[in-house]
């Protein structure tokens, strides 16, 4: 039995600090403005941003070189993401875009670029 238990606050602070150090291995994310959109007939909606994407998934070669992510417009989640992108463009507001590479435990490598093979799929979009 431990004669000196660790105070709950110290445990919380330690856990928070550890979380900051243990970031995702491959994680596409960017904070920026939308500069271009492309919708094609294969049920893909591409979002191009004005800032480089940090830590794109290994499959996301176009995410890295063209600063783009892809959304699937046929799903309710994809439709909500597209609405957020369009609203941000209309208002001139920046977005925080996080790809599926940010959640490797939830999305294996095969799902990180599941909509388009060379572009990381969006996990979530937040308008700032």
Nearest to 122 by CA among 114, 43, 38: 114
Torsion of CA 52, 58, 59, 62, to 10 degrees: 20
Complete edge-to-edge strand list for the sheet that includes strand 29-32: 29-32, 95-99, 122-127
Inter-residue contact 59 to 109 (CB < 8 Å): yes
**Which numeric CATH code is attached to 26-127?**
2.40.50
Q: What is the pTM of this model?
A: 0.75
Q: Please report, in tens digits, the pLDDT of each residue of the chain (128 residues total).
A: 555 555 544 333 344 333 333 344 445 899 999 999 999 999 999 999 999 999 999 899 999 999 999 999 999 999 999 999 999 999 999 999 999 886 666 667 778 999 999 999 999 999 98
Nearest to 122 by CA among 28, 39, 54: 28
pLDDT for the residue 81: 97
Q: What is the DSSP letter of 51?
A: S
Strand partners, 96: 31, 126
Residue ranges covered by each domain of the chain: 26-127
């Amino acid at each position: 039995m431990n004669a000196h238990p660790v105070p709950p606050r110290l445990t919380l602070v330690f856990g928070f600090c550890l979380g900051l150090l243990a970031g995702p291995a491959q994680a596409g994310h960017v904070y920026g403005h939308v500069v271009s959109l492309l919708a094609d007939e294969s049920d893909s909606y591409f979002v191009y941003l004005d800032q480089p994407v940090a830590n794109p998934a290994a499959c996301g070669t176009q995410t890295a070189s063209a600063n783009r992510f892809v959304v699937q417009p046929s799903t309710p989640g994809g439709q909500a993401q597209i609405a957020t992108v369009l609203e941000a463009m209309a208002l001139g507001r920046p977005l925080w875009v996080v790809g599926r590479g940010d959640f490797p435990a939830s999305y294996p490598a095969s799902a990180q670029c599941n909509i388009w093979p060379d572009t990381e799929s969006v996990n979530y979009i937040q308008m700032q």
